[in-house]
Amino acid sequence: MSDDRIIDINEKRTPETYRKYVKLGATAVILIVLLSVVISNLFIVEQGEYKVVRQFGEVVKIEDEPGLSYKIPFIQTVSTLPKYQMVYDIPTAEINTSDKKRMLADYYAVWKIESPQQMIANARSIENAEAIMGEIIFSAIRAELGQLNFDSIINSGEGEARDDIGELVRIRVNTSLENGNYGISLTDIRMKRADLPEENEEAVYRRMISERQTTAQDYLSEGDAEANRIRANTDREVQEMIATANADADEVISEGEAEAARIYNDAFGQDEEFYQLYRTLESYKKTIDGETVLVLPANSPYTRLLMGDLE
């Protein structure tokens, strides 16, 4: 590059030129800072949430419509509160039933924020709101369950007494929350389980075992009584059947003997000598055995037959 060219460039860098560059640079920096401040103070309201805008600690605005919003830089802050329903696991509570029995009731609650302004003014935070609601729920549960006896609470199924108790507790709690202007409401409350205190469980188990054994013995006694009744009825029916069968058999035997006698009479009537012989032989069967001693006349029919005189 020639010396003339260098001299021309230097001659263009006048003080006015420097001031112009400085002004443009400062303007650019200011615009960038302003843009950064604007962007950093924009916030988005999501579906299902409240945006709480505070100014020097005081709530000045609640944004609950989804979209883009803006806060005043440096003097305003933004925090978020849930708009959706939340679940609160209530600490297990020990209560006394109407029949003076102690039990542990374990519940969970579904709740939501209805008015962020009232919730912040009277409860300050979600943790404090849950603590306040938990105390009110405990008082309501104790009041409602205290009117029932232990067995009705334990033996009630879903959709019956437990749901009714939950609805009564919900109404009672919401009334207290509304009177306190806490800006929250109880949507639902359900019992997870109901147990006895540990020191009472063993005694209850022993009593339950004893009751089951007594019931089992009652069933066994009823079964034995029914078995004896069935056996007695069966024996009676068998005796009746045997008696009927014997009577039928006697009748058949009598008819058979009568028929045999008739046949004998018919047969013996055809040959009287054979009949006399038959009767004599039959008499021998009944009167003579291995130890019989007979003294007979010589002309006796027995003697003649024994001696072989058949004439």
Residues 165 and 233 in one domain: no
pLDDT of residue 80: 93
Residues 101 and 13 in one domain: no
The verdict on residue 280 lying in a domain is yes
Residues 42 and 19 in one domain: yes
* SS3 letters across the chain: CCHHHHHHHHHHCCHHHHHHHHHHHHHHHHHHHHHHHHHHCEEEECCCEEEEEEECCEEEEEECCCEEEECCCCCEEEEEEECCCEEEECCCEEEECCCCCEEEEEEEEEEEECCHHHHHHHCCCHHHHHHHHHHHHHHHHHHHHCCCCHHHHHHCCCCCHHHHHHHHHHHHHHHHHHHCCCCEEEEEEEEEEEECCHHHHHHHHHHHHHHHHHHHHHHHHHHHHHHHHHHHHHHHHHHHHHHHHHHHHHHHHHHHHHHHHHHHHHHHHCCHHHHHHHHHHHHHHHHCCCCCCCCCCCCCHHHHHHCCCCC
Domain tally, the chain: 4
pLDDT of residue 6: 45
Residues 138 and 62 in one domain: no
pTM of structure: 0.55
| Residue where a domain terminates, one of 20, 53, 81 | 81
Residues 113 and 184 in one domain: yes
The verdict on residue 98 lying in a domain is yes
The verdict on residue 57 lying in a domain is yes
The domain that holds 150 is classified in CATH as: 3.30.479.30
pLDDT of residue 117: 92
Q: What angle do CA 70, 76, 81 make, to 5 degrees?
A: 75
Residues 300 and 252 in one domain: no
Residues 109 and 175 in one domain: yes
pLDDT values of the chain reduced to their tens digit, one per residue, 311 residues: 444 444 444 445 677 777 777 888 888 888 887 777 777 788 899 999 999 999 988 889 999 999 888 888 889 999 999 999 999 999 888 888 888 888 888 899 999 999 999 999 999 899 999 999 999 999 999 998 888 887 777 766 554 556 688 899 999 999 999 999 999 999 999 988 877 776 666 666 777 888 888 899 999 999 999 999 999 999 999 999 999 999 899 889 988 888 888 887 777 777 777 777 777 777 777 777 767 776 777 777 767 766 766 55
The verdict on residue 206 lying in a domain is no
Residues 220 and 165 in one domain: no
The verdict on residue 209 lying in a domain is no
pLDDT of residue 309: 66
Q: Are 137 and 186 in contact (CB under 8 A)?
A: yes
The verdict on residue 251 lying in a domain is yes
pLDDT of residue 201: 61
pLDDT of residue 299: 77
Residues 20 and 71 in one domain: yes
| Residue where a domain terminates, one of 38, 59, 81 | 81
Residues 276 and 263 in one domain: no
d(CA 80, CA 116): 10
pLDDT of residue 208: 80
The verdict on residue 208 lying in a domain is no
pLDDT of residue 161: 57
Q: Are 111 and 83 in contact (CB under 8 A)?
A: no
Residues 140 and 178 in one domain: yes
Residues 153 and 250 in one domain: no
The verdict on residue 245 lying in a domain is yes
Q: Which domain holds residue 62?
A: 3-81
| Residue where a domain terminates, one of 66, 81, 96 | 81
